[in-house]
Amino acid sequence: MKMIFRYDFNLENGTVHNKVPMIDTSAEKGLPDGMTIDADDNLWVAFWQGQSVLQYNPKTGRVMNRIAVPAVIPSSCCFGGGGLHNLFITSSRKYDTDENITRFPESGGLFSYRPRVKGVPMNYFNEL
């Protein structure tokens, strides 16, 4: 089973606890990798070797949006640009096959998608 888990975060000491299954991605091609959230608290997940980024409702686990990426290995995603209206998607070619890179020459590139929702500002991590 390919599961995305939710954790409680202790801001005072920087620890996580209370691991809870949140979204089962077993039916999807590839493995869940980098992810971000939008202003509506939905989760966007890049699928390594899955050629896609999916938007999930984290309360129901339902797929709300599916973005086809012109690379076999999308690696992560984040919101940026003016007003955080663009979803930027990174991809890898380092671990891909020559055949896939020939079929998808933009592999390893950065892609931009404009969803109907905006992102939220990033939280920065400071080592304790």
pTM for the model: 0.92
Q: Which residue of the set 33, 40, 41, 96 is catalytic?
A: 33
In this predicted structure, what is the pLDDT of residue 126? 65
Can you read off the two tokens belonging to residue 25? 């991605």
* pLDDT > 70? residue 45: yes
Per residue in 70-123, pLDDT (tens digit) is 999 999 999 999 999 999 999 999 999 999 999 999 999 999 999 999 999 887
Residue 96: active-site member: no
CA-to-CA distance for 58 and 7, rounded, in angstroms?
13
Evaluate if residue 127 carries a pLDDT over 70. Answer: no
Distances (CA, A) of 49 to 29, 73, 105: 7, 4, 15
Task: Name all domains of the chain by residue range, CATH numbers in brackets.
Answer: 29-113 (2.40.10)
Question: Cβ(40)–Cβ(117) under 8 Å?
Answer: yes
pLDDT at 69: 98
